[in-house]
Amino acid sequence: MFVALALSTFLAQIATAKPPSDAPRCTTVRDIRFTRLVYPLPKGWRPISQVRLNRPRYEQPHRKGDESFFYFEIGDIAYGDVNGDGIEDAAVVAFYGSNSGTFHVTDVYVFDCVQNSVALLAVLREERERKKAGVPHTANGYADPRSVHPMRISRGVLEMTYDAAPKPLRYRLVDGAWHRVR
Q: What is the pLDDT of residues 96-152, one digit of tens each?
A: 877 776 666 778 899 999 889 999 999 987 766 666 666 655 544 444 433 345 688
Q: What is the pLDDT of residues 43-70, one digit of tens each?
A: 666 667 888 888 888 888 888 877 788 8
What was the pLDDT predicted at 150? 66
Higher pLDDT among residues 100 and 74, named by residue: 74
What was the pLDDT predicted at 148? 46
Q: What is the pLDDT of residues 22-43, one digit of tens each?
A: 678 899 999 999 998 999 876 6
**Other residues' Cβ atoms within 10 Å of the Cβ of residue 120:** 22
Report the candidate in 51, 30, 33, 29 with the shortest Cα–Cα distance to residue 42.
51
Q: What is the DSSP string of 138-178?
A: -TT-B--TTTS---EEETTEEEE-BTT-SS-EEEEEETTEE
The mean pLDDT value for 82-103 works out to 84
17: which residues sit within 8 A by CB, 6+ positions away? 119, 120, 121
Instruction: Please state the pTM of the whole predicted model.
Output: 0.76
As a whole number of angstroms, the distance between CA 160 and CA 43 comes to 26
What was the pLDDT predicted at 109? 92
What was the pLDDT predicted at 111? 94
CA 44 to the chain's CA centroid:
17
As a whole number of angstroms, the distance between CA 25 and CA 36 comes to 12
- Determine the residue type at 101: G
What was the pLDDT predicted at 136? 59
